[in-house]
Amino acid sequence: MHCNHQLVIEHIDSYIEGNLSPEVKREIDHMLDNCKECHSTHQQYLEMHQLSHQWQEQDTPDWHRVKYAVRPPVKQSNWLNWGAMATSTMAILMVVFQLEIVSADRGLTISFGGSQTEEKIANLVDSQLASYKQALDVSFESKLNVALERQDNLSKIRHANWIEKNRSERQQDIKFVMTGWQSQRYEDQKQVDQQLSYIADNQIENNQAINQLFQSVSNGRGRKANSSLRPNKL
């Protein structure tokens, strides 16, 4: 079951004081009965509410406020002033003469004029420049390798595109040639069929003419035979 903990937290004070509407009170009662976390929150707020009502006002004690509000004067000994003056003087001399105390493997080294600092700064600068140069070399080599790899990839892509384009163009050329060859073959076959049809028609006509000629000749011979067989009239 899903419990709206935020609703309990927002209305817990009003719930304890009895200022909620009956609908919201019933909803919170249901969540307190079924949710351990909401029940624990209610117990904590209830204890705090009870403790707040158990506080009682007390009279302020009568004590001298000015005495404890102002800090009493502190007596300082003279040797502290002389010690502070000596320390300040030594610090000023160290700054003026550029006193340097350097801890090394050989022990402490004390110098004046800032020579050790300058040498240390020079060594540090040389070290930083060497590191920077090495980083530049590494960065340049890395960028060069990346550029060469990118150029190699671009070359491979261009070569593949060129091969694919040539393959596509060859396929188009072959398709064009095959289409032209098939069209030409169709036209040649059509012409051959027309010529064969023309020859066949002529042959049929010739056969018909020959048959008519044979029939005419046969008919002529038949008439002559019939005429020769008839008796002559005196």
For 179-188, what is each residue's pLDDT tens digit?
877 777 778 7
Asked whether residue 219 is assigned to any structural domain, the reply reads no
Report helix angle 22-34 to 36-54, nearest 10: 110
Asked whether residue 26 is assigned to any structural domain, the reply reads yes
Domain residue limits at 16: 5-51
Q: Is the pLDDT at 16 greater than 70, yes or no?
A: yes
pLDDT of 80 reads 53
* Dist. CA 128–CA 121, nearest whole Å: 10
pLDDT of 209 reads 76
Asked whether residue 65 is assigned to any structural domain, the reply reads no
Asked whether residue 173 is assigned to any structural domain, the reply reads no
* Dist. CA 116–CA 95, nearest whole Å: 15
Asked whether residue 12 is assigned to any structural domain, the reply reads yes
* Dist. CA 132–CA 91, nearest whole Å: 38
Asked whether residue 35 is assigned to any structural domain, the reply reads yes
What domain count does the chain have? Answer: 1
* Dist. CA 99–CA 93, nearest whole Å: 8
pLDDT of 62 reads 67
CA angle 94, 98, 104 (to 5 degrees): 95
Asked whether residue 152 is assigned to any structural domain, the reply reads no
Q: Write the pLDDT tens digit of every residue in 64-106.
A: 666 655 666 665 555 556 666 677 777 776 666 666 665 655 6
Asked whether residue 187 is assigned to any structural domain, the reply reads no
- Most confident range (mean pLDDT) of 81-90, 142-151, 212-221 is 142-151
